[in-house]
Amino acid sequence: MRLIAENLGGERGGEPVFSGVDFALAQGQALIVTGRNGSGKSTLLRVVAGLLPAAQGRLLIEGGGEDFPTVAAACHYLGHLNAMKTALSVTENLRFWRDFSGPGLSSVDEALDTVGLGGIGHLPFGYLSTGQRRRAAIAKLLVSQRPLWLLDEPTSGLDKASEARFSALMTRYCEGGGMILAATHLPLGIAGAKELAMRVGH
């Protein structure tokens, strides 16, 4: 399976944010999108996910088969917001997303253990700290199986230990044949990741 972007361009409110972005991502590869604030990292991810229309160029997923015909169907999108309900418990949140997005390799409890939140699944999501919320959102990536992760500043709010754990998790995911497209200004520590530098007016 491959994710290919050709001469991709995106805009916000009619203003071009970036243009002429080319990349190809094969299974087991990670691509880190870097660049200054306002260089279009988040916009690129939203265009790739299909939440924003591409202003130019094209984007396709090759070899997705019946299960993953489009990028939207093949991806996990982890944006700035955690997409969790504060009134529901962490477990209820994760269980809903597992039911909604299809089953994955880990059960809800295993996923919580993996991100170091084992034993607090019964707490309402609203009681968690910023870093814990982010980790719970990362656990969302594990409870349903997708070949592509689109991560927008995934480590914001995480402490050093959690960052290291998340790096190991992403490396393992790539080794297992996953693809990662991550926008960040901090090093993510994925072994063998390529880099795509966005410039303002790219």
Q: Does 73 bind another protein (CB under 8 A)?
A: yes
By CB under 8 A, name the one of 22, 36, 38, 85 that touches another protein: 85
Q: Does 60 bind another protein (CB under 8 A)?
A: no
Q: How far apart are CA 78 and CA 81, in angstroms?
A: 8
Total residues found in the chain within this entry: 202
Q: Which of residues 30-49 bind another protein (CB under 8 A)?
A: 46, 49
Helix axes 130-143, 160-175, angle to 10 degrees: 10
Q: Does 52 bind another protein (CB under 8 A)?
A: yes
Taking the least distance from each CB to another protein, the nearer of 11 and 171 is 11
Task: Please choose, out of 2-10, 74-82, 111-119, 185-193, the segment that lies near another protein by the rule CB under 8 A.
Answer: 74-82
Q: What is the CA radius of gyration of the chain?
A: 17
DSSP class per residue in 63-97: S-TTT--SHHHHEEEE-SS----TTSBHHHHHHHH
Q: Does 157 bind another protein (CB under 8 A)?
A: no
CA 124, 130, 131, 136 dihedral sign is positive
* Site pattern 88..107 for another protein (x: CB under 8 A): x---x--xxx-xxxxx---x
Number of residues counted as binding another protein (CB under 8 A)? 33
Q: How far apart are CA 97 and CA 186, in angstroms?
A: 28
Q: How far apart are CA 140 and CA 95, in angstroms?
A: 9
> What tokens were used for 195?
């880099």
Q: Does 63 bind another protein (CB under 8 A)?
A: no
Q: How far apart are CA 64 and CA 30, in angstroms?
A: 17
Q: Does 12 bind another protein (CB under 8 A)?
A: yes
Q: Does 156 bind another protein (CB under 8 A)?
A: no
Taking the least distance from each CB to another protein, the nearer of 10 and 178 is 10
Q: How far is the CB of 61 from another protein (least distance, A)?
A: 11
Q: Which residues bind another protein (CB under 8 A)?
A: 12-13, 46, 49-52, 69-70, 72-73, 75, 77, 79-88, 92, 95-97, 99-103, 107
